[in-house]
Amino acid sequence: MSLFIHWNVSEEIFSIGSFPLRWYGLLFATGFIVGYQIMKRFYIHEKVNIEHLDSLLMYLVIGTIVGARLGHCLFYDWDYFQNHLVEMFLPISFEPSFHFTGYRGLASHGGAIGILIAMYIYSKRIVKKHIFWIMDRVLIPIALTGMFIRMGNLMNSEIIGLPTDVPWAFIFEKVDNQPRHPVQLYEAISYLLIFLILWRMYWKTDLKDRLGKIFGWFLVLIWSARFVLEYFKNSQGGFEDVLGNVLTTGQWLSIPFIIAGVILIARK
């Protein structure tokens, strides 16, 4: 008897008229809500004005969505979006007819760049601390948010893995009848473990007092995990064919983040 898991979960929880509440959106929002509470604990512990948290959430949400959306459109699907520019920032599509899509097409590499820019502005205008101070702290709950987002990808049957015969393989019935690596779960578990490692670094070591160290470890751990797991993931397209298909687009984009992390860890 096959042990493969047949996956055919509805993307929608319920609909109000033509506007559905999707699992992805709920899990995405849950990640930010949980992250807000974690940052609140950090701010209280370090006696930072918690009134700055509302601004932090606003900057994070905007930076993440704008960066991730641009990253997807530019890195992975420019052939389409160069002729559909209005759809880059609107949760709707006009083809084949007008319909609500939600923001389904967010690239984590673009999100990382968007967060970095948003936190630079936040650190200068709001909290008045070094950007490494805020990055050392905010990236801890962001690792956990990554877990929630990948679970949302699982509910959408997207970012699927390569075909396999491992006993825990998923058959994504909305895609095909092939058993595949549940790479969304692999990434979600990886991000949860990385969150726990970073959490321990904050509370059990002196790294939070050494600017950029937790930031560096985040970059190395997250993007190294992403680099390795790309080997189990179905190609998402992008520019990998231009570079000879040696690595995937996700792997090429991960390398600069890993190098930056190593530099941050090694610096005095």
Which pLDDT does position 179 carry in this prediction?
95
Which pLDDT does position 1 carry in this prediction?
45
* pLDDT tens by residue, 234-251: 877 777 667 667 888 889
Q: How crowded is the C-beta side of 66, counted as CA atoms within 13 Å?
A: 12
In the chain, what are the domain boundaries? Answer: 5-266
For residue 126, pLDDT over 60 is answered with yes
Residue of 263 and 113 predicted with greater confidence? 263
Which pLDDT does position 20 carry in this prediction?
79
Cβ 50 vs Cβ 44: under 8 Å: yes
Locate 245 and state its tokens.
Answer: 């298909």
Residue of 44 and 18 predicted with greater confidence? 44
* pLDDT tens by residue, 168-186: 999 999 999 999 999 999 9
For residue 80, pLDDT over 60 is answered with yes
> What is the average pLDDT score of the chain?
87
* pLDDT tens by residue, 137-166: 999 999 999 999 999 999 999 889 999 999
Nearest to 75 by CA among 259, 235, 261, 260: 235
pTM confidence score? 0.86
N-term to C-term CA, the chain: 57
